[in-house]
């Protein structure tokens, strides 16, 4: 499985600090994946109830396996539409889990209903693809059909768009903090190569290529990753927003 927590190692400190979870907070982690952020929220919330929600049972299995805290639970559901109950949470957090909604206004309105009045949303989302070295260099190295590229991770990259969505969903006090950090793909080229080949976009691009071109692309990918091997891991620049709203 892709080592998402490893990839996030230089970003997670900023995200956790921004979440500002306090003892007793009831926390909802949207698109919780393997649950690193859920567990850290649970540590900060003390005995406060923490729920991680995800549409992927495979991710939740991983999260459950890694979670010992009794006040954490995981829910297999679509956060866009699931009825969490009104005012059930004090804080809603998400690390790169809220960019994939088909109806973002409806989905964020659903999350707002789940928050108590004055509750907070803290979401880390990618800035535009053009700002993210990893998202430019990897597909450019593989080549292939640009139509196959997956733009959904960047759907909340434009602050004006996000302000519009969150405003329509009933949120106020929307702020953006820019996070420019290194993304870590692994300790060495081989691990980074295996990691990249688990990601949806590179796989989709490779699948479109003729066998000889795919072989060339894989060799180019290895060479490109070697060029990003800092000696302290394979690193790319990235740019994200930490969006907060009330």
Ligand X SMILES: C[S@@+](CC[C@H](N)C(=O)[O-])C[C@H]1O[C@@H](n2cnc3c(N)ncnc32)[C@H](O)[C@@H]1O
Where does this chain bind ligand X (CB under 6 A)? 4, 30-34, 36-37, 53-56, 59, 78-80, 95-97, 100-101
Task: Answer yes or no: are the C-beta atoms of 216 and 142 closer than 8 Å.
Answer: no
- Within 67-181, residue ranges assigned H as helices are 104-114, 133-142, 159-168
- Cβ of residue 210: shortest distance to ligand X, in angstroms? 30
- Record the tokens describing residue 238, joined without a space: 């990235």
Question: Could you give the C-alpha distances from 46 to 92, 126, 183, 207, in angstroms and in order?
Answer: 16, 29, 30, 46
Cβ proximity to ligand X, 36 vs 141, nearer residue: 36
Count Cβ atoms below 10 Å from residue 58 Cβ, excluding itself. 11
In the complex, what is the shortest distance from the CB of residue 223 to ligand X, in angstroms, rounded to a whole number?
Answer: 27
Least separation in angstroms between residue 164's CB and ligand X is 20
> For residues 29 and 217, which CB has a smaller minimum distance to ligand X in the complex?
29
CB of 153 to ligand X, least distance (A): 7
Between 59 and 239, name the residue whose CB sits nearer to ligand X.
Answer: 59
- Nearer to ligand X (CB atom), residue 4 or residue 176: 4
Task: Yes or no: say if 123 and 94 are a contact pair by the CB < 8 Å rule.
Answer: yes
């Amino acid at each position: 499985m892709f080592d998402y927590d490893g990839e996030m190692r230089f970003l997670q400190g900023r995200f956790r600090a921004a979440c500002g979870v306090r003892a007793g907070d009831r926390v909802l982690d949207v698109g919780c994946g393997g649950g690193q952020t859920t567990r850290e929220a649970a540590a900060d919330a003390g005995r406060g109830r923490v729920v991680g929600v995800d549409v992927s049972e495979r991710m939740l299995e991983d999260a459950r396996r890694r979670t010992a805290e009794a006040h954490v639970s995981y829910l297999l559901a679509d956060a866009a539409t699931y009825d969490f109950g009104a005012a059930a949470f004090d804080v809603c957090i998400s690390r790169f889990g809220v960019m994939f909604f088909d109806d973002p206004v409806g989905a964020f309105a659903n999350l707002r209903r789940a928050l108590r009045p004055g509750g907070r949303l803290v979401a880390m989302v990618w800035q535009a693809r053009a700002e993210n070295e990893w998202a430019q260099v990897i597909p450019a190295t593989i080549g292939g059909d640009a139509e196959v590229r997956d733009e959904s991770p960047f759907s909340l990259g434009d602050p004006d768009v996000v302000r519009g969505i969150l405003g329509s969903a009933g949120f106020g006090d929307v702020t953006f903090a820019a996070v420019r950090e290194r993304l870590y793909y692994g300790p060495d080229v081989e691990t980074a190569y295996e990691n990249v080949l688990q990601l949806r976009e590179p796989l989709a691009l490779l699948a479109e290529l003729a066998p000889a071109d795919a072989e060339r692309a894989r060799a180019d990918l290895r060479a490109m990753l070697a060029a990003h091997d800092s000696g302290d891991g394979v690193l790319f620049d990235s740019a994200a927003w930490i969006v907060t709203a009330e």
